[in-house]
Amino acid sequence: MDMIESPIKRSSTLPDLYPAKLKHSPALKAVSKHIKLPTERPLKLKPLNSLIISKPTKPVLSVSNKATWDLRASYSMGDLKLGKCLGRGTQGRVVLATIKDKECAVKIMHKAEKKAGELEWNILSSSKSPFLISSYGKINDKDHMYLILELMEGGDLFHLIRKRKLNPTEISFICAEIVLALEHLHSLGVVYRDLKPENVMIDSSGHIKLVDFGLSKVIGDERACTTCGSPEYMAPEVIRKQAYSYSADWWSFGILVYELFHGYTPFKGETSAETYENILEGEISFSRVDIVAENFIRSLLNPDPKLRLGHSESDIFRIKRHSFFRKIDWAATQEKSQSLLNKNH
């Protein structure tokens, strides 16, 4: 979910798969028959003014048990005042809003995306991680679902790393919190499938929170097969549409760690097709990292998911014990007792 609008956008779908100049690429030819583009449903949202004024028949409100807000069990749309658009996510748009003079963000999804919206609500309402965005409730009317979310005032990681270069200590701190977020999601049986800087928000205290679970899937001990995600962060097995599990998230994490150091992703091409080809070829060059960070990234970007760091359930301990995190106090990080990011960045 891109909480801040930007002219720089990266797709979470698979456009421009076979441009003419790469049509006969050996790497792509081998997988071309296996890739199926996801179906996109256009959002047909009412203008903001009509949303504010309208009074749907008996809107239904659900409030998370963990919410600290003093919200009533049910209320009218008049309690929800919607403002400017903050950004667009996988299944809807996010707007600034107030409920009884309390600021929040509201993700608005069309009824066609209700299944994804319910999944996102279930993940967030059952989550106990301080590194996933909080959801305070939801409202359903006949046309839309409104997911009430915590307002993240620090912007996203995508904009931060384009504003200034992070030092290695800051990078390891950010990565440690992301590790804890992924560990929690996986413990719930959820594969995230859309880890990228745009979906890593920063709160006013300098801590990160993952957002936008529209592509997430509950798999438990099973595997997923759907080809989805943002092209630059997709694991080879996802591109090939092979069955995959939680290790696909650790591949995306490896891409993100690389990007935090270099300012760009390792396999980016001129087109999505060229990016896929680069990922399948697997050649990586390093220029701004020490040997410890390079080893960590290469372990995460192993093209064989069975050999990738993060493949097995016990690998979370190997990740935490890696020398890349030698300065991290994991207990203190879990408790958010320290922050290395200045809240003003």
User: Per-residue pLDDT averaged across 146-152, rounded?
Assistant: 91
Q: Where are the alpha helices (DSSP H) in the chain?
A: 26-31, 48-53, 114-126, 157-163, 168-187, 236-239, 247-262, 272-281, 291-300, 315-321, 330-334
Q: Which residue has the higher pLDDT, 199 or 137?
A: 199
- Distance in angstroms (rounded) separating the CA atoms of residues 73 and 89: 27
pLDDT band per the 50, 70, 90 thresholds, residue 317: very high
- Distance in angstroms (rounded) separating the CA atoms of residues 194 and 107: 17
List the chain domain ranges: 48-149, 157-334
User: Per-residue pLDDT averaged across 225-247, rounded?
Assistant: 97
- The whole-model pTM stands at 0.79
Percent of the chain with pLDDT over 90: 59
- Quick check: 114 pLDDT over 50? yes
* pLDDT recorded at residue 345: 54
- Quick check: 20 pLDDT over 60? no
CATH level 2 (architecture), domain 48-149: 2-Layer Sandwich (3.30)
- Distance in angstroms (rounded) separating the CA atoms of residues 337 and 279: 38
Helix, strand, or coil (residue 103): strand
156 is catalytic: no
pLDDT band per the 50, 70, 90 thresholds, residue 112: confident
Fold observed for domain 157-334: Transferase(Phosphotransferase); domain 1 (1.10.510)
Helix, strand, or coil (residue 226): coil
Catalytic residue among 79, 141, 156, 194: 194
User: Per-residue pLDDT averaged across 40-61, rounded?
Assistant: 34
User: Per-residue pLDDT averaged across 165-190, rounded?
Assistant: 96
pLDDT band per the 50, 70, 90 thresholds, residue 334: very high
* pLDDT recorded at residue 338: 77
**Counting every residue, how long is the chain?**
345
- Quick check: 4 pLDDT over 60? no
- The mean pLDDT value of the chain amounts to 81
Of the ranges 233-237, 252-256, 325-329, 339-343, which one carries the lowest mean pLDDT score?
Answer: 339-343
